[in-house]
A = this chain, B = another copy of it.
């Protein structure tokens, strides 16, 4: 823990098969006007909408619905949500959905009364909120983003071809989140698997950076081992509660600030993956999966000690009599085997990327100076080429 830091995560979590029982008590803490935010309506098909609205009615809430939050919430939708939140004088924004719905709820929370253009204020100028915030609560139906217990919010501006995230402070974190692993069972298998890799990538982005000896990396290794173990069970048996609940909990801790404390972090895989996403609109987790192996194999020689540690501590590689490079390399081979076993997409061509996009992909990739190797544009291009 060589770096100084602060830690504060006040979100209250209700976890398990009866997690939704916690909602009633939470609703009592807020006024009568609730803005109910959700996405494309899958919550109506799987019954979660009925359960939530029954509790809202029982608690005598005045509910204003704000449906249709898209996978990548747009600035237009955000502006519309702000107007609606003001019109209904929302005392609470209740987000029922996955990371996008939670992200959007937080964006409305900080924007409704900011008296400014939220896109400019928060996503271009990266200012912090000083206005009245509308409290946010979440009922999670998808696992992966960690949005249920952090201050992250990603908004897309199609006109400007920009998708930008702002990580807000703890005053913007959801006040509470309901995490029932069974609420994620109806998710299509492809989305479930993409979520698994989103979690994996969140942990690795924080793990593969820094030369210091840090407790955060040990916690990260524990989370990785749990994820690898449970994901192998879940792909064979998606309704295995033990596996799915472990994965849900791992996802929360993978991106709620804990494992980044006191250390450097990378996030270059997200930069590469987001470029692919901007060109193909492919599922986020799969874009990360498709670029990861070429990226990690490229940077491995520059962080060989950490990659060798990863091989031994996470993948159980036997280091006896081998060079560090060999151990590190075997760890990445094990990782690739697991990715194929899980059924992740390993090539950006499978996600719709074509050779004529290469130049654009390279230009669209923001290069962080934070990992074991600062990429050159030629290296970025080589990663995309290897992933074709």
Contacts and interface: CB of A to CB of B under 8 A. Distances in A.
A12 interface: yes
Given A4-B15, A4-B18, A219-B219, A213 B229 contact: yes
A226 B250 CA distance: 19
A115 interface: no
Contacts of A3: 16
Interface in A216-254: 216, 218-223, 225-226, 229-230, 241-243, 245-246, 248-250, 253
A377 interface: no
B16 A245 contact: no
A284 B17 CA distance: 38
Contact of A245 (B2, B10, B18): B2
Contacts of A248: 1
Contact of A262 (B229, B245, B313): B245
A287 to B, nearest CB: 26
A114 interface: no
A333 B212 CA distance: 29
A242 B261 contact: no
A9 B10 CA distance: 6
Contacts of A12: 6-8, 170
5 contacts: A1-B248, A9-B9, A215-B249, A218-B222, A218-B226
